[in-house]
Amino acid sequence: MIAIITLLLDSYRLLKARALFWITLGISGLVGLLYLSIGFNEGGMSLFFGLVSFEHELFRKGSEWAELLYIGIFTKFIVPLWITWIAIILGLISTASIFPDFMSEGSIELSLSKPVSRLKIFLTKYLGSLLFMLIQVGLFTVLVFFALKLRMGTWNPSVLWMVPLSLLVFSYLYAVVVLVTVITKSTLAGILFALLIWFGSFIMNAVEGNLYAAAYTQSQGGDAEMQENLKPWYRASVALYTVLPKTKQTIEFGDRLITVGGQKGFSTEDFTAALLGAEADREDLEGIDDAVRRNSGFYVIGTSLIFEGVLLSLAGWLFCRRDF
């Protein structure tokens, strides 16, 4: 156990020594500060700690729509753009070289000399690499958690679900990096293959989502025969998408978990309506887009974890068999 803790601490020190770690952390702090600068008063909302104000009765302090807008800015703008896009790319760049550097001559011998199996060393280095994303997302989300208390006057621990969900997305892609770098010892190859899988997941998510919309959610005046013809294609896209990690849908799963105004889940339509200053229909207790809830938790997260487990198992097997 002491040897494992030592390896984890070594990974943490290695991450701290990388410039990208502090750059990403600094940007996260800046984004968090900008988020905190959004406020609400009796007249409406304000930006930059009151320097700019917008009067609107819908967004007065204490209203449900002010809370929806504030949480929506975090989950539907900051999280998709910063945490699960830019921060993940910076994280992959920063951690992709960990296994190639570790397996380089003279680096791994010291770890192998310790009374720890190769598999435990491999898994410890993998978990240690995930600290990059955990620290970045964790600190930022905790800041958002306290900002909600300051601005809305209530504690909302449901926003903390974005920490494990964001970490899951990073872990799916980092598993690709680990397998490729264990095979090739090439940092660049690991990053490129991870981005390729990410792009493939993005394309398949768009195909599956559009087919679902065309086959199941068209207006009543739509072509019923056309919808029936598209349903087999939709089911085929679901089957094909099964083998890939569901990066976007994993983040969207947060829509089912986050609470707004005491109601679990809220839709993109609600958030868009709030941005436009018009109330959306909040009577539906589900409150979640059909396009988001169409797939089960096992399909979204379970199959993605199976994808990650298969890649890590293969990488771990190759790592244990490699002649160092």
Q: Residues 22, 28, 30, 34: what is their CA dihedral angle, to the nearest 10 degrees?
A: 180
Encode pLDDT of 5-34 as tens digits.
Answer: 666 666 667 676 677 778 888 888 888 888
Q: Using alpha carbons only, how large is the chain's radius of gyration in Å?
A: 22
Residue span of the structural domain in which 85 resides? 2-321
Q: How far apart are CA 69 and CA 59, in angstroms?
A: 8
Q: Which residue has the higher pLDDT, 233 or 280?
A: 233
Determine the Cα–Cα distance for residues 191 and 263; give it in Å rounded to an integer. Answer: 40
What is the Cα–Cα distance from 232 to 244, expressed in whole angstroms? 20
DSSP 6-53: HHHHHHHHHHHTSHHHHHHHHHHHHHHHHHHT-EE-SSEEEETTTTEE
Element (H, E) at 184: helix 162-184
Which two tokens mark 65? Answer: 């729509």
pLDDT tens digits along 175-197: 999 999 999 989 999 999 999 99
74-105 pLDDT, tens digit each: 888 888 888 888 889 988 998 898 888 877 75
Phi, psi (degrees; rounded to nearest 5) at 143: -60, -40
pTM of the prediction? 0.85
Instruction: List C-alpha distances in Å: 260 to 70, 284, 288, 321.
Output: 10, 13, 12, 51
Beta carbons within 10 angstroms of residue 279's beta carbon: 12
| Domains held by the chain: number | 1
Please write the tens of the pLDDT for every residue from 146-179: 988 888 888 889 989 999 999 999 999 999 999 9
